[in-house]
Amino acid sequence: MSIDFSELKDWLIPLSTFVSLITASVGGWLSLREYRLKVQAETRLAKSSELEADIKLLKLFTEIMNIAHARGATQLSEKAIEKVFSPENMKELGLKIENLHPVLESMIITHPVGMAAQDAAIAAIWALGVKHEILRPVAIQALTSLSGFKAKITNPYLADLKSKYSEKLLATADYEQQLP
């Protein structure tokens, strides 16, 4: 068996082309797989970031609700608790373990919120409900609850928000029955 170099030369060019194409195809396939994995990781990261942002938004929303409901910061004096719950004062006041809860509640001081801050918070609830879809049902529920004592302020915002959001809420406040 003799090797004819001209025939071998004729086969080397297609063979080397074939090997190059296979190598390029495998490399391209591996690159696409790597790219797909990176896209999936970025998608997961984006969803995680969106969830985190939604949680922060809802937390801030509930803080605004405290202002809209005219509730400021609360305080509880540790010294007052120590003094009231000392054994001699408990005996003198006739306190027992069964009736401590009302005493504790009366020791908490809630600072009031001004009317302007309260009205601004109500408007902020409406604005957030209009802007953020995730807050729309929450804002409707909040404005419905607040309409029990601030109907003149909340009802226009509530009507506007309800006109933009047609979904049925899962639960409604008792105050909704009083609305026109």
Q: For the segment 85-138, what is each residue's pLDDT rounded down to a tens digit?
A: 788 888 887 877 777 778 777 788 888 888 898 899 999 999 998 888 888 888
CA–CA dist 99, 96 (Å, integer): 6
106 and 138 Cβ atoms separated by less than 8 Å: no
Residues 58 and 136 in one domain: yes
Q: Are residues 118 and 106 in the same domain?
A: no
**Domain check: are 35 and 106 in the same one?**
no
The answer to whether residues 99 and 121 belong to one domain is no
Q: Is pLDDT of 156 > 50?
A: yes
Residues 106 and 116 occupy one common structural domain: no
Percent of the chain with pLDDT over 90: 24
Is residue 69 domain-shared with residue 142, that is, in the same domain?
yes
Structure tokens at 47: 């969803």
Name the more confident of 156 and 169.
Answer: 156
pLDDT band at 157 (very low <50, low <70, confident <90, very high): very high
The verdict on pTM exceeding 0.75 is no
Alpha helix locations (H) across the chain? 5-68, 78-84, 87-93, 100-107, 115-131, 136-164
Same domain, 150 and 102: no
Length in residues, the chain: 180
Report the pLDDT value the prediction gives residue 100, as an integer from 0 to 100: 77
Q: How many CA atoms lie within 13 A of 175 on its CB side?
A: 15
Helix orientation angle between 115-131 and 5-68, rounded to the nearest 10 degrees: 150
Q: Is there a single domain that holds both residue 64 and residue 137?
A: yes
What total number of domains does the chain contain? 2
22 with 87, same domain: the answer is no
Which residues, other chains included, contact 99 with Cβ-Cβ below 8 Å and sequence gap of 6+?
Answer: none
Residue 59 structural domain: 5-73+111-178
Burial group, residue 102, by CB count within 10 angstroms (0-12, 13-18, 19+): exposed
CA separation for the pair 141, 156 (Å, rounded): 14
Instruction: Show the tokens assigned to 61.
Output: 């929303």
